[in-house]
Amino acid sequence: MLGNFSYHNPTKLYFGEDSLSYLKDELKNYGNNVLLVYGGGSIKKSGLYDEITAVLKECGKNVAEVSGVMPNPTAEKLREGVKTARENGSEFILAVGGGSVCDYSKAVSVSVHCDDDPWDKYYIRFEEPSCEIVPVGCILTMAGTGSEMNGGAVITNHEQHLKIGHVFGDDVMPKFSILNPRYTMTLPKYQMTAGIYDIMNHICEQYFSGEDDNTSDYISEGLMRGLIHASRIAVKDPQDYEARSNIMWTATWALNTLVSRGKSTDWMVHMLGQSVGAYTDATHGMTLAAVSLPYYRYIMPYGVKKFARFATEVWGISAEGKTDEQLAEAGLAAMESWMKELGLVMKISDLGVTDEMIEGIADGTIILDGGYKVLDRDEVVSVLKASM
Ligand code: NZQ
Ligand code: ZN
């Protein structure tokens, strides 16, 4: 751990089948006007909506609602939520759903008391909030993004063909999150596996960088091994509570700022995937799956030792008789076959990308410099073409 850093995570977690029972106590800490935010209706179908509204009623809260938060929430929907929160004097936001609902609630929280347009302020000018922030609590129904314990809030602007994430600070992170693995069991398999790959890629984004001996990398390897093991069980039996609970807990630790301590981080798979998402509105985890292997095969020569370590420590491949290059390729081949086993989308053309979109997707790809190789625009285009 050669660098200097601080570590603090303010989100309180309640995990397990009984975790909703803590909601009542938590609600006592916040104002009476609650904004209940949820997605397209899965929580009504599962019965969770009724359970939560009963608790809110029991606590005497005045509840306003924003429903229909879509996967990859939009700037337009964000403005609508801000308006509803203002009209109802919302003092607390309760997000019930996946990463989209949690991200969206954070974006609303920093915009209610701010006069500027939130898209321009936070996503184009990348400013930090200078206004009062409405506290957010999450009840998570999908494992993947880590939004339940981080400051990330990704918003899509379809007119501008941009999908951009702003990682806000401690004061925007959820005050508490309720994680009941049972809630994730109603997810369609496509969403479950997209979430699993999102988790894997969050760890990879933070693992594939640097050359020092770093505790964060050892934690990452353990998380990846556990995730791969649990995913193989869950994909055969999605109702396996033990596997689903391990996946949910891994998702939280994969992106709650822990495994990035003391490291530079890459995040180029996410930059490519987000730009693909801006053009196609495809499921986040699938956009990552479809660009990952061409990207990693391209940068692997620049960080071959780490890719070789990935092969031995994560995939259990023997180093005997192999060069670092051979090991590195074997590790990526193992990841590829695992991805196919999960049934992930392996090509961006299968997500609706056409040849005509490639240049625009490259324009919308933010190029970061924390990984093993800083891509130029031509290299972005060639990775995208190799992902078709
Ligand atoms: O809207 P409903 O009806 O709830 O349906 C959702 C949605 O259609 C459904 N779903 C969620 N829980 C369910 C369920 N269906 C049945 N049973 C349940 N228990 O699943 C669909 C996808 O949900 P969504 O919230 O969009 O998925 P996810 O959790 O993957 O979130 C994706 C968003 O998070 C952003 C992504 O870019 C994307 O906008 N990310 C946020 C990050 C962060 N905060 O740090 C980092 C990530 O890299 C990611 O970029
Ligand atoms: Zn992600």
Mean pLDDT of 148-169: 97
| Residue 347 in this model has a pLDDT that exceeds 90 | yes
Residue 118 has a pLDDT of 98
Instruction: Pick the residue whose CA is nearest to atom 14 on ligand 1.
Output: 187
pLDDT per residue as tens digits for the range 1-23: 888 999 999 999 999 999 999 99
pLDDT per residue as tens digits for the range 82-130: 999 999 999 999 999 999 999 999 999 999 999 999 999 999 999 999 9
| Ligand nearest, relative to CA of residue 274 | 1
pLDDT per residue as tens digits for the range 295-340: 999 999 999 999 999 999 999 999 999 999 999 999 999 999 999 9
Ligand 2 mean position, distance from CA 257 (Å): 13
Instruction: Identify whether the C-beta of residue 123 lies closer than 8 Å to the C-beta of residue 166.
Output: yes
Residue 2 has a pLDDT of 83
Buried b (16+ CB within 10 A) or exposed e, 88-103: bebbbbbbbbbbbbbb
Instruction: Pick the residue whose CA is nearest to atom 15 on ligand 1.
Output: 187
Q: Count CB atoms within 10 A of the CB of residue 374.
A: 13
Tokens in use for 3? Answer: 């660098």
Residue 120 has a pLDDT of 98
Q: What angle do CA 104, 107, 112 make, to 5 degrees?
A: 120
Instruction: Pick the residue whose CA is nearest to atom 38 on ligand 1.
Output: 72
141 lines ligand 1 (CB under 6 A): yes
pLDDT per residue as tens digits for the range 196-209: 999 999 999 999 99
Q: Is domain 12-183 annotated with CATH 2.40.30.160?
A: no
**Whole-model pTM?**
0.98
100 lines ligand 1 (CB under 6 A): yes
pLDDT per residue as tens digits for the range 37-84: 999 999 999 999 999 999 999 999 999 999 999 999 999 999 999 999
Q: Where are the domains of the chain?
A: 12-183, 189-386
Mutational test site, ligand 1, from 136, 183, 284, 288, max ligand atoms within 8 Å of CB: 284
Instruction: Identify whether the C-beta of residue 184 lies closer than 8 Å to the C-beta of residue 143.
Output: yes
Side chain identity, residue 23:
L
Q: What is the CATH number of domain 189-386?
A: 1.20.1090.10
Mean pLDDT of 169-187: 98
